Amino acid sequence: MDRNTANSSPPTAAISLRDLRVSYGEREILHGITFDVATGETLVILGGSGSGKSTLLRTLVGLEKPTSGQVWIQGKDIAAISQAELDQIRKKTGMSFQGGALFGSMTVGENVALPLREHTKLEDSTIEIMLRLKLEQVGLAGFEYHMPSQLSGGMKKRAAVARALAMDPEILFFDEPSAGLDPIIAAGIDQLILELKRAFRMTIVVVTHELASAFLIADRMVLIDKGNIVAIGTTQEMRSSVQPRVRQFLDRVPEPDVEGELDYLQTLTEEYRRHG
């Protein structure tokens, strides 16, 4: 993608993807993704396993480099900027990982305080107050001296959200916030996301395959399948969509088993050629 074309002036949306392509080695995972996320909007990226939605999220936070295309975060193409500039943007974004990704050797409080200690020159006492505040926001007040291993799955996720909130980010990313949690705890996490959205007007991007949670928290949704956008629109538009692939996903219709003998044979031989 030519970066100097007339239409490549920095978009004003919080996040803009332009013809984003990402490959692992020879295999292309994302085949040209283009969409915008407006400031203050909650966008849910939906998709099945292997659809490329996690790769998309990893690219959005700069963990994967696109092979082509642009990822504009707050007016900067993060694929084209230096590490120092990327770090500046990362300080204004937060990411909550699927398993929490809390540091096992540190207490919950130290985990939440880590970005503050690394990036600010705040006094220890101020940091202490801030981390209590963040823990309270996610409903974990009083847990600052626990080790992550002492927390349940839902609490770990809440602690991870507290850590992602530590630097008061403008954009928050969630990777599968309700995966592996029981329905009640998962609903609690959804509620937490809704509260963050209401209270701080944050731009929020959530990757999930949980439909109920997606419809609850989303302003708009993107459905990704095999590395392509199938549909994009508001929750209403998605619900009333007649596109077969959207219907199949939303109505939870299983994939047909046999794809035709010839296709099946071809998949087999391709597998063989690839792996020997």
Partner 1 sequence: MEFVSQIGASVTNGLAYLGSLAALGGRAAYYGFVGPFQGKPPRLRSAFSQAMDVGVRALPILSLITFFIGLILALQSAYELSKLGALNFVARAVALSMTRELGPLITAIVVIGRSGSAFAAEIGTMKVTEEIDALETMAISPIHFLVTPKFLAMIVMLPCLTIWANTMGILGGALFGVTQADFTFRRYIQTSIESLYLRDIASGLIKSVMFGATITAVGCLEGLMTGGGAEQVGRSTTRAVVMSILLVVVVDLVFTGVFFFVGNP
> Judging by DSSP bridges, how do beta strands 220-225 and 42-47 pair with one another?
parallel
Question: Per CB under 8 A, does 90 bind partner 1?
Answer: yes
How many residues belong to the site for partner 1 (CB under 8 A)? 26
Rounded CA gap, 228 and 32, in Å? 7
The SS3 of residue 230 is strand
Rounded CA gap, 19 and 99, in Å? 30
Among residues 18, 53, 58, 134, the one that binds partner 1 under rule CB under 8 A: 58
> Token digits for 80?
């084209």
Residues 6+ apart with CB under 8 A from 28: 21, 22, 67, 227
| Min dist. Cβ of residue 105 to partner 1 (A) | 9
What is the pattern of x (binds partner 1, CB under 8 A) and - over residues 7-46? ----------------------------------------
Question: Per CB under 8 A, does 109 bind partner 1?
Answer: no
What is the pattern of x (binds partner 1, CB under 8 A) and - over residues 115-154? x--xx-----------------------------------
Q: What angle do CA 199, 12, 9 make, to 5 degrees?
A: 160
> Token digits for 231?
């549909």
Question: Per CB under 8 A, does 61 bind partner 1?
Answer: yes
- Site stretch for partner 1 (CB under 8 A), options 54-62, 137-145, 217-225, 241-249: 54-62
Rounded CA gap, 100 and 46, in Å? 20
List residues binding partner 1 (CB under 8 A): 58, 61-63, 86-88, 90-91, 93-95, 97-99, 101-104, 114-115, 118-119, 163, 167, 173
